[in-house]
Chain A
């Protein structure tokens, strides 16, 4: 039963990773940009929530009402006025700029909030669980996180499949110049895509802040986990990213059971094994060119 319990915890942890990864996946799909500051931007959301919780005394879940619009704005402005300027010059400039941004964010957070760990207190939900048997209990918070991850990914899929903007995203993804020819303003569209990606990163950042503590340098590891979920799942498939997150979550939980210091490494090793044996990922749709 312990193992069943562990696997369930791992699957639910995977939901959180998928939530981080969906934004990364979306951005890569639409404009072939790998945002090295994705994890740190989600960390910004957690610290914003901390300010709202401390300042207004709100519940962290309620703080999303303020945090998410701010993340949307940051995403749009960042893309329109910074990243769009780098996109025409090959893969190197956007990587350098987002890497620089990651370091700037980390150290600004460090100066503003010190290196102490912070936490978001959401009250009861954090320690209540559904008890299935004496050895098997599922926490409400991980369950809620998984539900939100499924809802976000499902929502993104619907958005891409059904809406005018979603069609624009897919068209630009297939052929940027042709999309421009038929009247798509790709600069605005990229801004909108980054805004959406940072909203998902913001949700993920606040949820992880409720689940566990966070520090100014927590963003790097989140980027790595999100990226591992994307690669394990296969590029270009959002549901694949969810599956990749789950594989990563299960690997880490089982790894920590073997030895507490082995959890994260077990995740890396599964990622490297996938890279060696099935580099296109488990559910690849898109070829990275």
Chain B
């Protein structure tokens, strides 16, 4: 009998190759302003912001178990934050974007106290009501243009040749940042707490996980991300209207993207965004049929294939582009070539 030692392994060669490819993809995306038309950059900006939003919703619902239908609150607040910091206070619009994200997170703190009094389905509609309340409050403030909205004039003064590539690169930063943020968060102590909460809330609490605090952090981080993405989206659009910025349609898109791609995985929202992009561009001549289709597909997936497209891909063989699992690898002392995690004992997601 050979003596065995154990080692906890998180990534393997496949992960490292995937990471290198991901890096190349990001570089390719970063080169877009060098060769693409402004209109293409603006379209891509929209989808990159959607990817960030989808990551934030997935963090909230897929990992935090907080099914919010009210994330449009923070998109709207991010949009109006952009206006307040640029036109209201006269700051540089590109500096205003992170400030708008922080403002959204700040407003999320007292909001979470109210929202967290509700659970499950009632939490879902409760967040929606809160978003509606924010929409109506903004509609009643004449300074920000009331119901007819306003234009971010501070940003429209910036030259087009600078503004569009800069906005695009910010969107790329927010999208890549959201993926990295969720990834690093899930590998941290908080991530461990969250996965425990996701798998069994009562069990996690009995082992000393501060469930309420973990959920609160996730809610605030998601508000920050949605605020940032909202600010970049409206830096791209420039015209802000409360009914559009605070529309529940934002959350509908986030939910459909995440559900179709795969809830509870980092890869899911990325795949979902690509699918959404394809559907929307293909069905662009058919009015709102793409929403009918998206809704129906999301229903079918929830009922028959709850882990989404990414779940289908990984059902045959385990594959993680973003290694979150810990593998217990048996390192055989006599045959020390076994460095890849073959016999993964006690795989924990």
Contact = CB atoms under 8 A, between A and B. Distances in A.
Contacts of A269: 133
Contact of A261 (B69, B130, B139): B139
Contacts, number: 131
B211 to A, nearest CB: 15
B306 interface: yes
A147 interface: no
Which one of B113, B291, B295 has the highest number of Cβ atoms from chain A below 10 Å of its Cβ? B295
A223 B126 CA distance: 11
Nearest to B133: A268
A34 B127 CA distance: 14
Given A100-B302, A227-B122, A262-B140, A107 B129 contact: no
B17 interface: no
A36 B140 contact: no
A165 interface: no
B133 A110 contact: no
A93 to B, nearest CB: 5
A227 B125 CA distance: 7
B170 to A, nearest CB: 29
A279 interface: yes
A104 B139 contact: no
Interface size for chain B: under 10, 10 to 19, 20 to 34, or 35 or more residues? Answer: 35 or more
Contacts of A231: 118, 122, 126
B20 interface: no
Interface string A223-265: 1100110010000000000000000000000000001011011
Given A91-B67, A97-B299, A111-B289, A103 B117 contact: no
Contacts of A101: 295, 299
B295 A107 contact: yes
A53 B133 CA distance: 36
A186 interface: no
A36 B292 contact: no
B69 A103 contact: no
A231 to B, nearest CB: 7
A275 B118 CA distance: 9
Given A34-B121, A95-B124, A85 B303 contact: yes
The majority secondary structure among interface residues of chain A is helix
Contacts of A265: 133, 136-137, 140
A106 B296 CA distance: 12
Interface in B97-119: 113-114, 117-119
Interface string A23-54: 00000100011101000000000000000000
Nearest to A35: B121
Contact of A275 (B117, B137, B288): B117
B300 to A, nearest CB: 9
Nearest to A102: B295
A265 B292 CA distance: 30
A86 B302 contact: yes
A268 B121 contact: no
Interface in B278-327: 287-289, 291-292, 294-296, 298-299, 302-303, 306
B80 interface: no
A51 B330 CA distance: 69
B85 interface: no
B23 interface: no
A62 interface: no
Given A224-B129, A224-B132, A265-B137, A104 B299 contact: yes
Nearest to B147: A261
A181 B289 CA distance: 45
B256 interface: yes
Given A82-B303, A107-B292, A261-B139, A288 B255 contact: no
A99 B61 CA distance: 14
A36 B259 CA distance: 16
Contacts of B61: 92
Interface string A125-164: 0000000000000000000000000000000000000000
Interface string A197-232: 000000000000000000000001001100110010
16 contacts: A92-B61, A94-B121, A96-B67, A99-B252, A102-B295, A103-B291, A103-B292, A104-B295, A107-B288, A107-B291, A111-B289, A111-B292, A227-B125, A264-B132, A271-B129, A272-B129
Interface of A: 28, 32-34, 36, 82, 85-86, 89, 91-97, 99-104, 106-108, 110-111, 220, 223-224, 227-228, 231, 259, 261-262, 264-265, 268-269, 271-272, 275-276, 279, 288-289
Nearest 4 Cβ contacts at the A-B interface: A34-B121, A104-B295, A265-B136, A91-B120
